[in-house]
Amino acid sequence: MEKVLAFVLLTFAPLSTAFAQSMVSSLPADSSQQEKNKAIARRVFEEIFNQGKFQVADEIYAKDFVNHGLHRNYDLQVDQAAARWEKKHLPDLKITVDLMVAEGDLVTVIWTLRGTNSVPIGSLPATGVRIEERGITVWRIVDGRIREEWTSFDMLRIVRQFVSQLKWQLMGLLGAVVILIWVAARFIRKLWLIYSSKTAKATS
């Protein structure tokens, strides 16, 4: 029995040692790749959003990139157009990374966006509204390029911030609309009375 046990130990000990060494030697490579993926993710926030260097997208996004929205998917052109729109209307936009985790080819980021609307939006004047929103993004990064994205944040919370900071302006606008409707109603009623009076005289 002792000879059998010694034989088993002598046979499998080198194999287990080799397996352990291979596992240890593979860890740094995996860890190194995940750190590279994290660095790519940071460039999106620091260079594209915070600094407005949109040309960086050509370096870090794959040509077949897909942003998986809730109801439809978006390509790189649409994705970057949205990023440009945000930076244009929130010139002081800054996104900070609160937490970043990498596993395999996925990088998950919890971020906080802050910015002030100091530029007109279409025909609307600049509101001066200060926005603060937290969201989460998951990227799939392959061969140093971002290929897929999943992002989620609370759009309703952003709307509430606009409403709460513009409530007096909105109330004033609502009051003006009510007054205009009241004046228009009185004018229409007066025209109707005149028309009815003339019609009655014509038929009498």
- Look at residue 102 and tell me if it is in a domain: yes
- Residues 156 and 172 reside in one and the same domain: no
Could you tell me which residues come within 8 angstroms of residue 107 by beta carbon, excluding any fewer than 6 positions away? 34, 37, 38, 40, 41, 100, 101, 138, 139, 141
- Residues 91 and 184 reside in one and the same domain: no
- Residues 171 and 161 reside in one and the same domain: no
Based on the structure, what is the number of domains in the chain?
Answer: 2
What does the alpha-carbon distance between residue 133 and residue 159 come to, in Å, rounded to a whole number? 11
- Look at residue 15 and tell me if it is in a domain: no
Taking residues 14-25, report their average pLDDT.
44
- Residues 179 and 122 reside in one and the same domain: no
- Residues 54 and 136 reside in one and the same domain: yes
- pLDDT for position 94: 98
What does the alpha-carbon distance between residue 43 and residue 49 come to, in Å, rounded to a whole number? 9
Roughly what angle, to the nearest 10 degrees, separates helices 167-203 and 155-165? Answer: 80
What does the alpha-carbon distance between residue 107 and residue 130 come to, in Å, rounded to a whole number? 29
What does the alpha-carbon distance between residue 93 and residue 22 come to, in Å, rounded to a whole number? 46
Q: What percent of the chain has pLDDT over 90?
A: 60
Average per-residue pLDDT for the chain:
82
What does the alpha-carbon distance between residue 88 and residue 7 come to, in Å, rounded to a whole number? 73
- Look at residue 18 and tell me if it is in a domain: no
CATH number at residue 136: 3.10.450.50
Sign of the Cα pseudo-torsion (121, 161, 151, 141, in order) = positive
13 band by pLDDT with thresholds 50, 70 and 90:
very low
- Residues 76 and 176 reside in one and the same domain: no
pLDDT of 29 strictly over 70: no
What does the alpha-carbon distance between residue 60 and residue 112 come to, in Å, rounded to a whole number? 21
Domain that holds residue 49: 33-165
More confident residue, 113 or 124: 113
- Cβ-contact 117, 90 below 8 angstroms: yes
- Residues 182 and 125 reside in one and the same domain: no
Q: What is the pTM of this model?
A: 0.67
